[in-house]
Amino acid sequence: MKRLLPTLRADQTSESLISVINTIQIAAKEISFRLHQGALAGVLGSTLDENIQGETQKKLDVVANQLLKTLLLESPNVHAIASEEEDSIVVSPNSGDYLVAFDPLDGSSNIDINGAVGTIFSILRKPGGEASGESMFLQPGKAQVAAGYVVYGPATMMVLTTGKDVRTFTLDQTVGEFLLTREKAEIPDSTKEFAINMSNQRHWGKAISEYIADLLQGEDGPRKKNFNMRWNAAMVADVHRIITRGGLFTYPWDKRNSAKPFKLRLMYEAAPMALLIEKAGGKASDGYQRLLDIVPTDIHQRVGVILGSAEEVEKCVDYHTKHPKPD
């Protein structure tokens, strides 16, 4: 079976980009090992600290962040990193060509219940010219040179694109290697499966409320087919299901907190997932704009997310054309 690095070489990926992806896989193997040790490694539970998002950090959030941050900042090819767990960007002593934004442990509320979690990463090129500091990172998702995630579930799998096909690798725990298990992911255009946190229904805007209401009427309703629902409470696991068999995932605007109407972060959750979804034949939108066209204004910016099977995303976006974008 083909290993990760030879596969990237066969894809004509540059050696400098391969080295950055290699650094991420090394960190992911260590995170996978710690997760599988669970309570035996004393990594369950929370710290007393909060991250810049105002979330209580899980012990493994901190461990995973430290692992990725340390290894990436040692890489000669990385210029700076941005992380969900870091208030601001961290510039490396090395003047590498790449910027890496990452969510070290997505879905961390699943750790203590032994549920699936993941690492999400986005790789950008350091811009030329005067750009420095945080502004270097404020590039639209379509500027990503690579994006991927590692899902730590029953198996540990890395799903990756370097701008071409979306490839899936599975960690062979016996040899400690990510081996190619799917050459080219292709998302079916239509689906009967959707993912949303239904418990937030009373807080949603009109567009998503009407879209979901029509889905729930099934074959007796305007959609003339029955839909099933799934929710992993970890975007990486919900997206992996869609990359594997199709579906629609959405975390929409809601009115609970006008200062923070969205949940998911653009740079290290929505944009990398949108690139994977589009390269696998699906679509990704915030309801009003292609997600990959959004130009970030802040590294921790949040956005509405609708992604998955192309026809179903188009259908959901249609409902948004009838309602103005909520403030």
The DSSP 8-state label assigned to residue 86 in this structure reads S
CB of 14 to ligand FBP, least distance (A): 29
CB of 79 or CB of 263, closer to ligand FBP: 263
Stretch (H or E) spanning 32: helix 15-37
Q: Tell me the torsion sign for CA atoms 163, 169, 175, 176.
A: positive
Q: What is the greatest pairwise CA distance in the chain? A: 62
Query: Cβ closer to ligand FBP: 57 or 77?
Result: 57
Would you say 43 or 234 has its CB closer to ligand FBP?
234
Residue closer to ligand FBP by CB (options 17, 264) is 264
**Residue among 81, 47, 80 at smallest CA distance from 62:** 47
**Contact range with ligand FBP by CB under 6 A, out of 37-45, 105-113, 177-185, 212-220:** 105-113
Between β-strands 90-91 and 98-106, what pairing exists: parallel, antiparallel or unpaired? unpaired
- Assigned token pair, 180: 């190619």
Nearest CB to ligand FBP, comparing residues 106 and 193: 106
CB of 251 or CB of 262, closer to ligand FBP: 251
User: What gap in Å lies between CA 89 and CA 94, rounded to an integer?
Assistant: 15
Q: How far apart are CA 196 and CA 306, in angstroms?
A: 10
Taking the complex as a whole, the smallest distance from the CB of residue 33 to ligand FBP amounts, in Å, to 20
Phi then psi for residue 171, to 5 deg, are: -75, 115
User: What is the C-alpha separation between 242 and 235, in angstroms, rounded?
Assistant: 11
The DSSP secondary structure of 299-312, one letter per residue, reads TT-EE-EEEESHHH
**Residues 270-299, interacting with ligand FBP (CB under 6 A):** none
Closest separation in Å from C-beta 9 to ligand FBP: 32
DSSP state of 74: H
Our separate counts of H helices and E strands in the chain read 7, 17
**180 makes contact with ligand FBP (CB under 6 A):** no
Sheet holding 156-161, edge to edge: 90-91, 78-83, 98-106, 117-125, 146-152, 156-161, 167-172, 177-182
Question: Looking only at residues 43 through 82 of this chain, which bind ligand FBP when binding is defined by CB under 6 A?
Answer: 55
Nearer residue to ligand FBP within complex by CB, 55 or 177: 55
Nearer to ligand FBP, 4 or 151 (CB): 151
* Among 197, 244, 289, 301, interactor with ligand FBP by CB under 6 A: 197
Per CB under 6 A, contacts with ligand FBP among 149-168 are none
List beta partners, residue 312.
Answer: none
C-beta separation of 245 from 187 below 8 A: no
Kindly state whether residue 308 participates in binding ligand FBP, applying the rule CB under 6 A.
Answer: no
Among 23, 108, 161, 250, binds ligand FBP (CB under 6 A): 108
The binder of ligand FBP chosen from 96, 107, 252, 308 (CB under 6 A): 107
Dihedral angle, C-alpha 13, 17, 22, 24, nearest 10 °: -130
- Quote the least distance from Cβ 312 to ligand FBP, whole Å: 18
Pick the binder of ligand FBP from 11, 143, 233, 315 (CB under 6 A): 233
Comparing every residue's Cβ against ligand FBP, the nearest one is 235
Asked if 254 interacts with ligand FBP (CB under 6 A), we say: no
CB of 12 to ligand FBP, least distance (A): 33
The residues of the shown chain that bind ligand FBP, judged by CB under 6 A, are: 55, 84, 103, 106-109, 197, 233-235, 251, 263
